[in-house]
Structure 1
Amino acid sequence: MPFDSLGLAPALVQAATDSGYAAPTAIQVAAIPAILQGRDLRGCAQTGSGKTAAFSLPLLQRLAGDAAQAPRRVRALVLVPTRELAAQVGESMRGLAQHLDARLKIVVAFGGVSINPQMMSLRGGADVVVATPGRLLDLVDHNALRLDAVSMLVLDEADRLFDLGFAEELGRVLALLPQRRQNLLFSATFPPAIQALADGMLRDPAIVDVQGAPGTEPAIVQRVIEVDAGRRTQLLRHLLKQHEGEWDRVLVFVATQHAAQTVAEKLYRNGIYAVPFHGDIAQGTRSDILFQFKQSRWDVVVATDLAARGIDIAQLPVVINYDLPRSPTDYIHRIGRTGRAGERGLAISFVSAATEAHFRLIEKRQGLSLPRERIEGFEPTEAAPPRVVDTSGNGGVKGKRPSKKDKLRAAAAKARGGD
């Protein structure tokens, strides 16, 4: 199906072609007509499937068709959870808008950098603002913009924005918006609890889920390598040297900022051009790292989950989970950094005896059953830690408060004792 069959203007069809889309992806085919009709929408699709263009193209067309106002009033707001994603979405939207006759002003705003240039860019208003929630509220507090004319709201990586870390800020932003508006929610994952929250703000929405559509899932080969926790860095170095001519860039995920620094430094000392990437690094430096990584100036970026959301690195061949993610949802977002836009990719996870049970949980939640591999010279020797049994009477090993099942078991035991 060509783009011009979706109801897009010729200028936007050309923009999509210039952006590298030979044909619309499944999420674009399903979402674009519904958005052009003015419907609310909840869209779920794998990372790298073209979600940004799926909302940007119809959004830009609807804005370009409305009469321009002076000064400009913010008519479309795109909220994202990270600074890197804000910059990426803004860059993509500007590229798609360049062929339009109407000159739309798109402003990107995020924290970690001075607010003054962003306030200056909002002088005279803006048609579209792409922002993280915290910095958007800062700009509102500085009277740099108003949100009472917003007619289209996009939540990109919506599951993260509805999470507890952003819930309060998101609530404050929603309170500043007009009640009548078009709401567009996009993410690669919508866990049931988040889905319920999301649906609460949608009115008669179009529900688009192309996760299982043929041909839409990235061709990502997933491997699991068993290794003792203390030998992961040596194994990582071994794999990088072994595939030196094959893997031109590798994204390695770790659990903490300290681990990002430590692993990157050890690799660098062994002749591998590796750099850490985490939240304590200045925003300007982080932007430089990503730009240089895309240009293949770094061999390896060792990152926290800061890089798991929305970072688009074309033709990234490999993602390695040095540490496993805390949740099955994060696993999907991590491995989705490779295998984007139909490219082939490889995702490797290191699993030790202590983390085997956690990876089995990830497999269960994602409907996976992956074979375990062992690399010669790095065979694991550690045994799984003994299961901790709670003898305090509180029941369960997950926390101090007994679960519903624990209470039922206790009641049953008490009833048996009285017989």
Structure 2
Amino acid sequence: MRRRSLLSLSGAAVPAALLGPATAASAHSRRWLHTWVAMPQLTEPGNLPPAPFTGASSVLVDTTLRQTVHVTAGGSRLRVRFSNAFGGAALPITQAAVALPAGGKAGVSAIVAGTSRPITFGGRASVVVPTGAHVVSDPIDLPVPAGANLTISTYLAAGQQTLNLTSHPGSRTTTYLLNGNFVPALDLSGAATVAHWYLISGVEILGDAPAIAIVGDSLTDGRGSTTDGNDRWPDQLFARRPHTAVLNQAAGGNRVLNDGLGPNVLARLDRDVLATSGVDRMLIFEGVNDIGTAPATVADQKQVVDDLLFAFEQVVLRAHARDITVYGATITPFGGNTGYDDPDGLREQSRQEINARIRRGRLFDEMADFDVAARDPAIPRQLNPAYDTGDHLHLNPTGYGALAAAVPLRWLS
């Protein structure tokens, strides 16, 4: 199943002269690539905007949303993607703008004067996003350095006439909501706040950086990380090499085989990896939710292990067909977790079996051993106490730093 990509598995790049004239030119050309993403999801009732921004049958009527995102690779021009993937009706965006946030900080309501740029769509200030679709804006001239925060303000006059709203609930970033059109405002004083992203799903830059998509669940989405801190493990991985686009395509509760919070990995692979501009490599760190939600019986656990191994093979086959290198990570411990740990240790046996297959190097092009990085050396079936949030499943920022440190930097070369 292994195959050689343009980046050799030893980490050495193939000289441009050996690629041929056309390939060598494209290897150094600038193109549109994603620098930030958020996996679109159907918003659960408890994550809908607070009153008065959610009504009986509509959301975000006469509402300004101000949201900040943390870009990775930088560039002088950018585009913004709005998603209506899970909307139950057309999404009418009346006005939008992008700016730099005050102090360069995440989760703030103020923007830097003179940095606001209108977002247009085919030269128009407004757009209607069809049900199930997304739209990409016109290019915007706004230099954004690598690792910067970016503010996106959006106004919906009529709102969306449905309660099926596209969002990313696990933003770990403060969003501001205010009735009325305040897209140009320098600050949104008196605005309501939530820690969710709504409607936005991507930012592209014009550049030549490599891009890696990370497919994961709540351990990658950052449960246990700091709100407005940008300290999930993909954030900390980017900080180790801040010239690579690191794209976090994770969602809490996500599974490989069956839908959970958001579509399963096999269903969303095309949208979140294969069709994401700029991606030439990916890392998958999933499986704990599949093991943990399968019944703790010998037959059920054998089935989930067999199905997971087949699913990983499918991910690799489909990605290789698009010349995308696939890295995998071992599943981290959950011993002591009240939901996933079982008295007979059957789920732990499944975790060990999956990890053994990953370590043998026959599933992915290369692997990172997150299990070793996160586990308690004295009790390997449990998380290191210094990394444990207390639920014996999720990590704190220090633990996420340990995962980031376990990724070979040559994967980002």
**TM-score, shorter chain, exceeding 0.5:** no
TM-score band w.r.t. shorter chain: under 0.3
Higher strand share: 2
Larger Rg: 1
- In terms of fraction of residues, the more helix-rich structure is 1
The TM-score with structure 2 as length reference comes to: 0.25
Tell me the TM-score normalised to structure 1 length: 0.25
